[in-house]
Amino acid sequence: KILFMLMMIIGTLITVTSNSWLGAWMGREINLLSFIPLMSDSNNLKSTEASLKYFLTQALASTVLLFSVILLMLKNNMNYETNSSFISMIILSTLLMKSGAAPFHFWFPNLMEGLTWMNSLLLMTWQKIAPLMLISYLNLKNLLLISVILSVIIGALGGLNQTSLRKLMAYSSINHLGWMLSALMISESVWFVYFLFYSFLSFTLTFMFNIFKLFHLNQLFSLFSQNKMMKFILFMNFLSLGGLPPFLGFFPKWIVIQQMTYCNQYFQLFIMLMSTLITLFFYLRICYSAFMLNYYENNWVTNWQINNFVMKLYLLMTFFSI
């Protein structure tokens, strides 16, 4: 697994540092082929199905990407008569599909359902770096705008009736991806700040879920019934991920909001803020139920205390307000 992790990191780095589309495509392929063995887990029956789904979607996107790159080469080297903005649109749509942004998001929540928490974390954070970096090279504001609006709306509405924590995190990730894409439209540094904060918050939450083997909402309710403080901090992290002021997760959103008002993108900002309110609504709903309902039916959820100093440190760091 160390080998595959290393290959995955190298693949992303090749993509980010390459100076041609072909090199970028090659890096994406290395990344894909090393992520699939990481996904397949002998203990999890769904992981084989998930890795196959991931392979099919990414292979489709890669094929179309390679096709459009060849078209671009023909246009530039052979003076072929093709519309370059059309080719850029194809490239952008493949990259959106690779990152899991709406309207190409359908594979993403289903796939998350079959993964372990650590793989889910990789899929939500590391696997987004390369496609988003490539998207920043393309100057297609209109198509990106459509994708941003769809991503934030679908990410907000999709999470409303979910009981699975992985699907909840997947829809939250789609919503955050909409924010990241609009941050990319402004500047790369704004995107980078947003991405770092999002990765940090996601890491803390998924690490918690992984330690306590949490996969569904009803497990959250019976967890920490003796240790109320731990429960409180965990749910504050939820709200922080949703972007509620004064927590840490609001800070990157604040930067994006400020930059977008400078650029007079009020309509887009309004839609993004409304959708974030919906995500906050379902996070708050979960927090309310978890604090109000204390039931002990789930005897298999062991209430063991966290003695992990690093974990406590992470939780406290994300718990800090702006």
DSSP E strands in 189-307: the ranges are: none
d(CA 49, CA 107): 12
Q: Supply the DSSP symbol for 315.
A: H
Check the CA dihedral 183-184-190-196 and report its sign.
positive
Q: Provide the pLDDT for residue 126.
A: 96
3-state SS assignment for residue 3: helix
- Give the Cα-Cα-Cα angle 39, 303, 204 (nearest 5 degrees): 45
d(CA 281, CA 284) in angstroms, rounded, equals 5
292, two tokens: 């109000």
Three-class secondary structure of residue 216 per DSSP: strand
Backbone φ and ψ of 249, nearest 5°: -65, -15
- pLDDT for residue 219: 84
What span, in angstroms and rounded, lies between the C-alpha atoms of 82 and 74? 9
Q: Please check whether residue 35 is in contact with residue 15, taking contact to mean a CB–CB distance below 8 angstroms.
A: no
Angstrom CA distances, 170 to 162, 240, 277, stand at 10, 16, 17
pTM of the model: 0.93
53 forms beta bridges with: none
Q: How far apart are CA 49 and CA 51, in angstroms?
A: 6
What are the mean pLDDT values of the chain's consecutive 10-residue runs (322 residues total)? 96 96 96 94 82 95 96 84 86 96 95 93 96 94 95 95 94 97 95 96 92 87 74 87 91 96 95 96 89 64 61 74 72
Which pLDDT belongs to residue 304? 57
CB-neighbour burial class of residue 311 (10 A; exposed 0-12, middle 13-18, buried 19+): middle
The pLDDT value recorded for residue 305 is 58
Other beta carbons less than 10 A from residue 185's beta carbon? 23
Chain centroid offset of residue 54 CA: 15
